[in-house]
Structures are given as C-alpha cells and as structure tokens.
Structure 1
Amino acid sequence: MEIVYMWINDPLRSMDEWELNFGGPWRFSFDRASEELSVKKNKLHIPRFFVPEKHLSENYYIRNITALIGENGTGKTTLLNRIASVMSGGSTELIEFSQEYEVLLIFKIDGDLRLFVGDKLHVNNGNFQESGVMEIQKTELMTEDHFQDMSIVYFSNIFDSAYVPTPNEFRNLENISTNFLIHRPYFHSSYKTNDFTPRESEMIRYLDAENQLNFLIRHRNKVEKWSLPFSMPKKVTAKFEPTMIFYEHMVNDLRSYKDAYQLEKILNSAYDDLVYKNDAVSHFTLLVIMHIYFEIRNSPKEVVEEINKSLDYYTYSEKFDIYQALEMIQFITLKAKNSFQFYETLQGLYKFINYLLEEIEQKRLQIDRKGIHIDINDSISDFLIYYRNAFRHYPFLHFDWRDLSSGERALFNIISRFSSAINSPYSKIHKKSHVLILIDEGELYLHPLWQRRLINDLIEYFSYSYCEKHRVNLQIILTSHSPFIISDLPNDHIVFLRRSDNKIKTMDGLDDHKQTFAANINTLFSDAFFMSEGLIGEYAKKKINRLANYIVQSDTTSILEHRETIEKLIELIGEPILRNKLRAMYLDKIQLTQSSLHQMEKRILELEHELLKMKGKNDDKNS
C-alpha cells in the first residue's frame, strides 16, 4: 500500500488547500470549487528510478522517495505526523480524519489506484478515471484489511517537547524518533527532587549507543553488499566520569530525608576514601557508589528509609574499595525485597561488577581512569546484557567512539536506529510486505559533505537491509530544507512548502520549473525559494549596506578621516562584484575630493603669484 496523492484543507493549522503528489506515473490535481479531480501523465517518470545498481530483487525495492521541502515554520513536521497518523491508524483513524478535515487521498493497493474522498468533499468532475483510479464510494469500503500488510517507521533526531505519535495510538507504527525514545515508559520516572533530575539526554545517549553496538554485532565479520561509508569502529570506550557536582547533589538530596543519616554517612565515607585515588578501579568504584544512590533515590521513600534503618547494623572497613561496594550491594539487596524493581537492579549491578572483574583479570577488557575499553568482538554481547540489567533509571556509563567524526557518528546513529527497528524481535515490520519510512529532517547535525551523500546512503542501505534481506517494498517520505537533499531527487518527487501572503502553500516545483535532479548546489541555493533575501549572511548584509550609505551620504572630510577603516572593510568582502562596486564608489568619492583639493591648491598658487606681482609694482613706485 502506497500513498500517491493527498489534498487537505485545514486553515486552522495553516494547511490551506495543500496538494501533494508523491511521485509516480500520474500527476493529480483537485479543484475544490468545481469538484474536479484531474490527472495527467508524468512524462518524465522512470520506473524503478530508486533501485541501485546490482540490486538482486525484482519484486522488493524502493518504490518511491518524496521530499517535503520548506523553511522552518512551514509545517513540514506537522504534515509528516499527519501522514503517520493516517497511514498507521488504520481505517478507523482514516474515517475520523476525514470527518474532521477536508481531505482527499489516492492510494495504490495491490497495483490498483483507490480514491478516498472524505465526508466534507465531493468529486463530481474530472478525467481521473483515465489513470485507472477506482473511487471508493463509501468509507466503510476502506477496511482494516487494506492496512494489514503495511507498517510505518518514523525517524526524527529532533529533541523538543512536540507531540509524539505512539505505538499505543497506532498499532502499525514503529517510532524511533528521539522524542519518543526518551519518553518510553521504561525510562520515564516521576523522579524529581530539589534541583537534580536524571538527564533525558543521558537516556538517549545510552539507547543510541546500544543500537550502534547491536548494529556492529550483527554486521561484524560479515561480507555484505552494503556497508557504512566509513570503517566500522573496532573498539568502544565505556566512560565513567564522576564529578563533585553529582556528589553534592547526592548528599544534599539525601538530607531531605529525615531518616537517611546512615546512608549519607556511608556515602560520605566512601567518597572521601575514593575521590583522591588515581587508580582506575577506585574511579569505577566511586561511580558505582553514585549509581547505587541514584537507584535508591528512585525507589519509594519507605524503601529508602527501610534501607537506611538496616544500615544501622552494617559495618564497613575504613578503606572503601570495589569489594566493599560488592558487600554493601549484597547487604542492601537483602533489605530491598519489598521493592522488586530495585531488588532486581541491585542483583544486576552485583553480577555486572563480578563479570567486569573477571574480564579485567583475564585481560579480555582493559580499564583506565577514562573508562573500560572494549573490543568489538563476541564479548561485547555479554557486556551489554550484564550492563543492561545493572541499571533502571540512570545509565552510568557513557559509550564513546573515539575514531569517528561527528558526521560519521550522526550517520551511524540514523542507520543503527533503522537497523534496530527491523531487527528487533518485537519489531512491527516483520511479516509485512510494505513499509512506509518517514524521516523528519534526517540531515540534522550532518556536515554538508554528509548531507550531499545522505540520499545515496539511505537508498543503498534500505535496498539491501530492508528490501532484499527482509523482502519488503518501501515508500520513503522525508522532510528537509537542504538543497543537498533535493539535488538527488527529480522535481516531481518534491513538494515545496512556501509562505505567501501570510499563508503556507504547496508548490510542485521551483520557480521557472527548474529541474532539481543533479542540479548544481549553488544554482539551487540561489533560487528565491531558498534565498529570497540574498546569498550573504544577514549581519554582513547590514554591515555592507551601512558602508554603502556612509560613502554616498557622508562629506569628504569624514570619509578621509575614516579612510583606513573603509578600505579594510571593502577588502574583507568575499563577493568580487560587490567588493568592486563598493571600491569604485569609494574611489569616485576620493578622486572628487582630490580633484577639488588640486584645483584649490592651483588657485592659491595663482593668487600668491598675482600678489607677488602687485607687491613688485608697489615696490617700483616707491623707489
């Protein structure tokens, strides 16, 4: 099932008669006033356009890629979310959607084009039957069966407080967006005390690291047709960086409990004993102590106070070390059975520490003050399993790829999330033959060099890892405001969102019907769609305008006084035409000034000469 065409009118959300063609052999157009749905052939349509070279599957491939392009605030993300809800909510969501908005949709189902007209619209005219479109006369005919064989994967790297579509709302949705991952029920905690809250960013860092590590485990030692466009990391560092700030928050927070004095006493003693030691194991032990605190703090208050009371009977050595920490974990675990989740976490932490000590002793892991250095081999799977069971609320290790640039990390993150979506045993993509991929500003955080190759990398990755390996057909819809993205897409696969007369409208192409595919990036940048206010930065523009006005309006004396600054500023301008124009304006002004001075000097000499002549005549008379 593919979405081929969408017409929607929702003025309250700035969707003023939006029309979207998602590519394909036909171009549709709907006129609300005349109730006419027109169709014409797309003369430049090329079947299997997004199938890469050496693709092995004849039946499973990327059917279509469409980009929604527009500046910030034009509603790209809102539109993408709307598509997600319509396509993943099934017929019930579609019917409710059509009752709330004026909407018209054309789907491709089993090779046939189906027209869905909402309750608030009517189609009574047009030549749309020429394309083979079969109109659905009643909404009841759009049944759940039409949606059974498809799934939606929604990706976004944007981290804000926006609405997040959830799998509970839409059963066919696999949400791998940052906003959703950090709000997953497993990681959500009502924990918030004083001025410290576990950072959501730490959760997403861990989840992304876990996805990346699982990706490497799946693809390690495999010769595959597709691979990352850079060398896969051979080693990862699990960093631990306990700080005084965390410790101060920890102790201050404990003091809010009237019955937490024993716990505070033990943590203070452990901290004082470990903080100034330079060996790696002491640093790790200090991290474990802080982690125990965070997990205790996320337990019910009565559990914290019960543990604190039991510590009246706990004796510890004057010198705190990792074995003392293990002993304390065992002791607290026995007292925490009333809190099952906390009990499970402490048991997991105990097993994780013992596992690490054994691996370090056998030299299968290396540890220093910066962290635990792990080779990407068979042992990494065991490490992840033990570590995953050692925390509930706060991941206490930070995974770091030392040999990856920021652009490589960003692309690695995109690919690993999509890999987790289809390879997870709980994935909703399994046994589906159609998958709709929705990507919201995938180029976010990517250097222009990586933006330029993003479409190619996605085509090659999805063609192999989704289409060939899992036998699914794909439709991809993405949002962007980058010319680098649209240079890889034909004009008929792009919908432009543009602000005009305080409204946002959809456009089928750039001004003058320019082709976008393989277009020069500079040409695309220079189009008024992207740069309606010019091609230079706003600050530079204002600075240059002030300089031009100053040259034109100032008197020559003032210009000569500031001559050095003016000349320096002109030389700083990188655009040669602009620089030469300002230089000419400046020199014209200076030359006029110099010419006037020369004439004045000449006149003075003439007057002096006449004065001398007159003086000579007077002298002759007197003699």
Structure 2
Amino acid sequence: MEFLYIYIKQYKGINNIGINLSNEFKFRFDEDKNELIISSAEHYIPDFFGKNITNLTAIIGENGAGKTTVLRYIVEYLSAGIHNHNDENGIVFLRERGQLFYFSINDIIISSQENIKSPKRIFDPEDIRSSLVTIFLSNVFDPTSYYTHDYLQGQLAGTKNLSTQYLLYTDYQNRTGEDAMRRDLTYDQRFSAFAAEEMIRMVRLLRWIGQKEEKGVPFPVNLPSHLNISLVFNENEEYQDILKEIRYASEGYFNIRRSERNMFLINAFIASIAYILNETKFIVGPEIVAHKYRSVPERVLEYLNTHKYRDTKNENSIVPEIHDIFYSVLRDDEFQILNKTISSIQGFLEGLDKFVHGRNIYTSKDNNSISVELTKVNKGNLETLIDEYYDTKGISSYVDFFFSHSPGTNSSLSSGEYALLLVFSRLNSIKVDSRKPLIILIDEAELALHPQWQKQFISHFVDFIETRFKNHKVQIILTAHSPFILSDLPSNCIVLLKKENGKTITFDSLQSTKETFGANIHELFTDAFFLQDGLMGEFSRKKISDLINEINQQEQITIEDFDSKYKNRIEIIGEQFLKAKILELVAEKSDIQLIDKIIDRRNNEIEILRQIRNRKKDD
C-alpha cells in the first residue's frame, strides 16, 4: 500500500490544497469541475531510493506554512479515518499491487492518460488502515498539556507513535504497568522512565548494528565507542561536611582493597547516600519519615568508625560489605521506611559491580566516572544495568549514563549525534510481526542536526531503512526546512508549501531551479522560497544599513571621522564587494587626505592579487 495523493478540503486552517506523494504520477484536482486529473510524472525512476522503498517525499516549507499539519492529517487519517478530523470532502489516492484506489465520500470525475489504469473506488477507509502499518516519529517536544494535546489521544489507534511527547508518558506505563494518565505522577517518575527506555533503545540499536557489521553491513554513522558512567553528588552545602567524613572513613575502612574499580564503587556508595539526603526535601508526611532519611549518614558513619573490615571469600568485590553497612541502617528502621530505597540502591550497586568486574575500564582522576568499551558482550550487560538503575519505583538520580567517542573524559555525543541516533534507535525498536507495508512519517527530520549531518541524512536514512525493514515495502514522508534535504530529492518527490495572504498554497518548483536533485546548495539557499532577504543575517543587515544611512547623511568625512567612526565598522564586513562600495561612499564625502588613504589600501589589495597571479604563472 502506497499513498499517492491527498486533497485536503478543510483541516486545521488548511483549505483546498492537493498534496502529491508519488514520484510516478501527478495529481491535480479542479474543484470547479469536480475533476481529478492524473498524469505521468516527468523523469520517473523505479526503485530510486532502494528496492523496498516505494517512495520518499519531503514536505518543505517556511514556518507556519502547514508542514506538520499536513503530516498530522495523514497520521489521523490512517489511525482513525476522516470522521476524526471532519474533512468529509477530502480525497485520498493510493496504490496496492499495481492497482490504483481512491476514497471520496462525494462522486468525482477521474481523468487520466491512456497508459494509467483506471482507479477503483473504496467506500470504507478502514480498508486503507488495516492494510498497512503507520509509524509516526518526532523529536519535537510540545509543551502543550498532555490532557489536551490531540497527538497523544486515542485517535492514533494502532499507529506506532514514536514522538517524544508520547513516549514521555507511555514509557512510564511500559516499565511499571501503571496508568500513565495518572495526574499524581511526578516529573522525575516520567522522565526517569523515558530516559531509561531511550537509553535502552540506543543500546539495542548498537547491538543490532554490531550484528549487521559482523555480516559486512557497515552502519553509515560514526558510532560511540564507549559508555561513560558518571556519579552525581548532592551539592547542598548543608550536607558537605558529613559526606566528607563518610568519604574519609570509607577510604580507610576499605583500604585493604584499594583499586580503581573499588574506589569508583566506594564513591558510588557515597553518591547513593547523598541521593538519600536529597530525597528528604521531597518527602511529604510524618516527620519520622524525613528523620529516618536524614539519619542515614550518621548511621553509616557510626558503622564505619566502630566496625572492622571483615575479609570475605569474594575478594574481588566490596559490595557484600556495603550490603552489611546498609543492613545495619535497616535494622534500626522498625517501620521499614527506608526499605524500598535502600533495596534499590543495593540492587543497583551489585549490578554496577558485576558490570565493571573483569572489564578494561578507564577511570577519571577523582574516581567519580568510568568509561567502558562498547563491546558485544558489554552492550548486552549494559541494557540490564540501565534497566535496573532507572527503576521508577526506586532510584534514578545519582548516576549519569552517556555515550562517548573519548574514553576517560566527560565528553558526550553532540546533541546532533544524539538526535540522529535517536531517529534510528526509535525506528529500530518497532516490532512489526507481519509483512504489511509501512508508512513512516517523520516531523522535522533534520532537527538539531549540523549542516554536514543534514547533508548526509537522506543517504544514511535510506541505507538504514533498506536494511532494517528489508521484508517490508516502505513509504517515507518527512517534513523539513533544509535545502540540504532538498538537494537529495528529485523535484517530483518534493511538496513545497508557502503562506500567501494567510492561506497555505503549494508550489510546483522553486524560482531558481526546476530540478532540485544534486542542485547546488548555495543556489537553493538563495531561492526566495527559503530566504527572502538573501543570505545575510538580519542583525548584520541592519547594522550595515545603519552604517550606509549614516554615511549618506554626512556632508563631509574627515580622516579623523573615518578612523574613529567608520574604519572598524567597515573592516569587519566579510563581503568584499559590499565593503568596496561602502568605501566609495566614504570617498565621495572625503577630503584628499582620506581618499589617498583609501587608494593606498586599494593598491595594497591589487599588489596582493598581482603576487598571487605571478605565483600561478610560475607554477
């Protein structure tokens, strides 16, 4: 099943526009004649994006033109039909196994070229939805309330919703089995579950990539080589003295097994106590509860100062002894107030110990962070470790996990690298049992990506889709702002939206070029569709305009005026032609002394050009 065309009669501020989603056909609906005209698209190339990718369409447009609205129209149509968005006069065209179909409540006239098969009419839109799997992905976080934001309501039905907004809520439910709609859930609970699942999705992506690379299928993106685990300490001044005492007592107590690994585990133990102290400010209830939390450091310090370290058979681990220290705290907790928190901490420290045991690790100088190479075995164990730590019913506030290219440092991946890998990891997490066709809808595909990554996005993405979903026919529809995306797509794969007189309209092509595929990025940028005032930044444009106006208002400019008011403002201008023109303006208002100075400057520039020319001649 492949979507070919939608005609939106009326939906959320968009009226009477047709959206071509096919690179093989052109559709145009004449509302006055109630006629839909179908013709063959120019320069159609079968399997252009890959054997299993039926088409890739980019909806490009300026802010507010309606790109996301069009995408949402498709999402809602595929998940709950037209009755959800009340566009009863809309038209949808699609293709399945070579046959064209269309859905329209109203009778319409169909006109097509002789070589195009006559389409069949569908009377129940459920036939469309049941024949494919819809995947919606967005990294955008919309601050609109969950309880009113329609992206997250039931109309998405069977759609695989991978939006940040949606996952922030459903990840909690997936991890705990509890209702994610509960209003009493804290931000920490929701965020911890989301962070856990996001990290686990990335780890699973890395594992999947590893399996493919073993078979000679390299992944196109530079992947992180290490996982860094960094401890987070409570910075409240009120607690610093007691934490320092515990650190000193712990190092003395565990001195018999001093090692980089154990020093990190000792610091993780101290960070967990700092976490317990931090929890006191969130406690609502009887004073005895807060008192029990605040008394933990004193109870731990008392144990360390009054007990002697007991050698055990497990000589490579200090975690069993840490369990005993915490047990002494729990022993005095007759109401078991601390039981859940401390049990979670003990479980995580045990998992952390197992994870770092026997591995080559890089430890920071202060022993507060470690780096572990992301080998095949480590990736599998890492998923378990993260899963245990980010237990929303327990703890998730004193250790940071982050991927890095540099072991032994606090260097993380860039936001662009994370954004790119998250697109892949979320799609990789999709479980599609059948071989139904897939339609993947991505909002703001290039969000947070450096221009170099934008330039590479389509290439990397189609490689990934072709491999990951090789048993499915896949159609991709994405929204973007970037000319870099445009340059990778033929013009018949692009929908251009623009706002004119408050109304969204579609364009057939850009002003500067008809064919976009392989077009020069600079030419695409200079098209008025993207930048209406050229390539210069607005701040610099205003400053230069003010400078020109100021010069024009002067009757005479002396050399003193030039040096004090204008010289530096002209020198910082990067566009040489513009700089020369402004100097000419100055010269028109200048005395001979200043003109001579400008001539000397020009002569110096000419001499530099002569030297370059002579050198090229010699070469």
Whether the TM-score (by the shorter chain) exceeds 0.5 is yes
Q: 2:351 aligns with which of 339, 355, 380?
A: 355
Report the counterpart of residue 109 of structure 1 in structure 2: 96
Q: Distance in 2 between matches of 1:226 and 1:317?
A: 54
What's the offset of the Cα at 1:389? 2.6
Aligned counterparts of 2:52 and 2:592: Cα–Cα separation in 1: 71
Conservation of the 8 A alpha-carbon contact between 1:297 and 1:304 = no
Aligned: 1:417 with 2:426: yes
Indicate the residue corresponding to 1:540 in structure 2. Answer: 540
Instruction: State yes or no: 1:376 paired with 2:377.
Output: no
CA separation of 1:164 and 1:350: change in aligned 2, threshold 3 A: farther
Identity over aligned pairs, percent: 24
**Correspondences of 1:238-387 after superposition (within 5 Å):** 238-245=229-236, 273-274=246-247, 279-291=263-275, 305=289, 308=292, 318-319=302-303, 323-324=321-322, 327-328=325-326, 347=343, 349-358=345-354, 360=356, 362=358, 369-377=367-375, 378-387=377-386
102-111 or 381-390: bigger deviation: 381-390
2:177 corresponding residue in structure 1: none
Q: Is 1:134 aligned to residue 130 of structure 2?
A: no
The aligned residue for residue 493 of structure 2 is 493
> For residues 130 and 65 of structure 2, what CA distance do their matches in structure 1 show?
32
SS in structure 1 at match of 2:156 = coil
- Residue in structure 2 matched with residue 213 of structure 1 by the alignment: 203
1:7–1:299 distance in 2 versus 1, CA, 3 Å: farther
Structure 1, residues 356-408: CA drift from partner, whole Å, max 9, x if none?
33555545666553324323231442343144134433534322223175244
Worse-matched range after superposition: 494-503 or 285-294: 285-294
Alignment of 1:106-185 (within 5 A): 106-118=93-105, 121-124=106-109, 126-127=111-112, 131-136=116-121, 138=123, 140=124, 142-144=125-127, 146-162=128-144, 163=149, 165-166=151-152, 169-184=155-170
Give the drift of 1:46. Answer: 1.0
Distance 1:568 1:352, change over 3 A: closer
CA shift digits 1:37-64 (9 cap, x unpaired)? 112211211111112xxxxxxxx51110
Q: Give the deviation of 1:129 after TM superposition.
A: 8.5
In structure 1, C-alpha distance between the alignment counterparts of 2:302 and 2:331, rounded to whole Å:
22
AA paired with 1:108?
R
Mapped partners of 1:275, 1:203: distance in 2: 34
Do the aligned partners of residues 327 and 307 (structure 1) sit closer, same or farther apart at CA in structure 2, a change above 3 Å counting? farther
2:598 matched to which residue of 1? none
* TM-score (normalizing by structure 1): 0.76
Shift of 1:461: 1.0
Structure 1 letter corresponding to 2:442: I
* 1:238-293 Cα distance to aligned partner (Å, 9 max, x none): 21121314x87xx9xxxxxxxxxxxxxxx996676249988533421133235556
* 1:515-571, Cα deviation, whole Å (9 max, x unpaired): 110000000001010111221000111111111111222221578624443233223
Partner of 1:258 in structure 2?
none
Check if 1:445 corresponds to 2:441.
no
| Number of the residue aligned with 1:476 | 476
Residues 1:436 and 2:439 aligned together: yes
The C-alpha deviation readout for 1:73-97, integer Å capped at 9, x for no partner, is 222222212211212x1xxx22414
CA-to-aligned-CA distance 1:187-228 (integer Å, 9 cap, x gap): 6675688xxx53966655443332222222233364245433
Q: How many residues end up aligned between the 2 structures?
A: 544
CA contact (8 A) 2:138 2:163 kept: yes
Deviation of 1:137 after TM superposition, in Å, equals: 6.2
Aligned pairs for 1:537-616 (under 5 A) are 537-557=537-557, 561-590=561-590
Instruction: Give the 3-state SS of the residue equivalent to 1:18 in structure 2.
Output: strand
Deviation at 1:512, TM superposition (A): 5.9
Give the corresponding residue for 2:46. Answer: 47
Residue of structure 2 equivalent to 1:261: none
Deviation at 1:300, TM superposition (A): 8.8
Larger deviation: 497-506 or 224-233? 224-233
Measure, in 2, the Cα distance between the counterparts of 1:476 and 1:304: 58
Cα distance in 1, alignment partners of residues 150 and 185 from structure 2: 22
Gaps spanning 5+ residues in structure 2: where?
174-179, 252-262, 305-317, 406-411, 596-619
The Cα shift of 1:108 comes to: 1.2
What is the CA–CA distance in structure 2 between the aligned matches of 1:74 and 1:419, rounded to whole Å? 31
Q: Give the whole-Å Cα distance in 1 for the aligned partners of 2:550 and 2:189.
A: 51
Q: Which structure 1 segments of 5+ residues have no match? A: 52-59, 252-266, 422-426, 596-623
- Please identify, of 107-116 and 388-397, the stretch whose mean Cα deviation from structure 2 is larger: 388-397
Distance verdict in 2 for CA 1:147–1:346, change over 3 Å: farther
Q: What displacement does 1:15 show? A: 0.7
Q: Distance in 2 between matches of 1:310 and 1:357?
A: 26
Q: TM-score, normalised by structure 2?
A: 0.77
2:27 counterpart residue number: 28
Structure 2 distance, partners of 1:537, 1:292, is 50
Cα distance in 1, alignment partners of residues 450 and 69 from structure 2: 25
- Cα displacement string for residues 557-587 of structure 1 (whole angstroms, at most 9, x for unaligned residues): 5786244432332232222222222122221
CA displacement at 1:307 relative to structure 2:
10
Partner SS state of residue 454, structure 2 = helix
| 1:66 is the counterpart of 2:57 | yes
**Distance in 2 separating the partners of 1:292 and 1:574:** 56
**Alpha-carbon separation, structure 2, partners of 1:169 and 1:70:** 26
Question: Aligned with 1:484: secondary structure?
Answer: helix
Amino acid at match of 2:401: F
| Contact 2:249 2:301 (C-alpha < 8 Å) held by counterparts | no
How far did residue 496 of structure 1 move? 1.0
3-state SS of 2:28 partner: strand
Matched residue, 2:83? 96
Q: Using the TM superposition, name which of 392-401 and 480-489 deviates more.
A: 392-401
Helix, strand or coil: the match of 1:37?
strand
Secondary structure of the residue that 2:160 maps to in structure 1? strand
SS of aligned partner of 1:23: coil
Aligned pair in 2 of structure 1 residues 495, 345: CA closer, same or farther (>3 Å)? Answer: farther
Change (3 A) 1:288 1:20: same
CA distance in 1, matches of 2:249, 2:66: 53
Supply the distance in 2 between the matched residues of 1:443 and 1:224 (Cα, whole angstroms).
Answer: 29
- The yes-or-no answer on 1:84 pairing with 2:75 is yes
- Partners of 2:544 and 2:168 lie apart in 1 by 45
C-alpha distance in structure 2 between counterparts of 1:461 and 1:104, whole Å: 32
Render the CA deviation track for 1:324-362: whole Å, top value 9, x for unaligned: 5665369759989999xx977765543332233355554
C-alpha RMSD of matched pairs (Å):
3.9
Q: Is the 8 A contact 2:437 2:473 kept in 1?
A: yes
Question: Using the alignment, how far apart are the partners of 2:300 and 2:184 within structure 1?
Answer: 29
User: CA, structure 1 residues 114+375, in 2 after alignment: closer, same or farther (shift >3 Å)?
Assistant: same
The 3-state SS of whatever aligns with 1:416 is: helix
Distance 1:410 1:108, change over 3 A: same
CA distance in 2, matches of 1:100, 1:585: 59
The answer to whether the 8 Å contact 2:234/2:275 transfers is no
Code of the aligned partner of 1:150: L
Q: Per-residue CA shift, 1:139-159, capped at 9, x if unaligned?
A: x3x344x43342122222212
Residue type of the alignment partner of 1:70: G
Paired amino acid for 2:169: H
Larger radius of gyration: 1
Structure 1 CA distance, aligned partners of 2:188 and 2:580?
Answer: 56
